[in-house]
Amino acid sequence: MTRNGRPTKEDREKRAGLRQVALLTAIPALLLVGPLVGWWVGSTLDRKWSTAPWLMIVGIVLGFFASGRETWKLIKLAQPPDAKD
C-alpha cells in the first residue's frame, strides 16, 4: 500500500492471483456437489413416487449439467479481463 491508502500495482496483481486461485479451487467441489444433490433429490422423489431409478438418473444428469454450467461461469470469471471474449 502507498501512503494515500491505494494499493500498488503489485498488490492488485497479487490479489488478482489469489482471487483466481480461490475461484478455480471451488471447481472440484462444484463438480462433486451438483450430481450428489441431483442423486439425493432424484432418489427421494423415486421413493416417494415409486419411479426408481428414473428420477435419480434425471437428477444426476441435471446435476452434471448444472455443475458444468457453473464451472464454465467460474472459469470465465477467473480469466483476466484482457483474455475474455
Residue 4 inside a domain? The answer is no
Task: Report how many domains make up the chain.
Answer: 1
Q: Other C-beta atoms within 10 Å of 83: how many?
A: 8
Residue 2 inside a domain? The answer is no
Q: Which amino acid, one-letter code, is at 79?
A: Q
What is the residue range of 28's domain?
Answer: 9-83
> Greater confidence, 75 or 12?
75
Residue 67 inside a domain? The answer is yes
Q: Other C-beta atoms within 10 Å of 42: how many?
A: 23
Q: What is the DSSP string of the chain?
A: --TTSPPPHHHHHHHHHHHHHHHHHHHHHHHHHHHHHHHHHHHHHHHHHT-TTHHHHHHHHHHHHHHHHHHHHHHHHHS-GGG--
Residue 55 inside a domain? The answer is yes
15 pLDDT band, cuts 50/70/90, is confident
The pLDDT of residue 2: 60
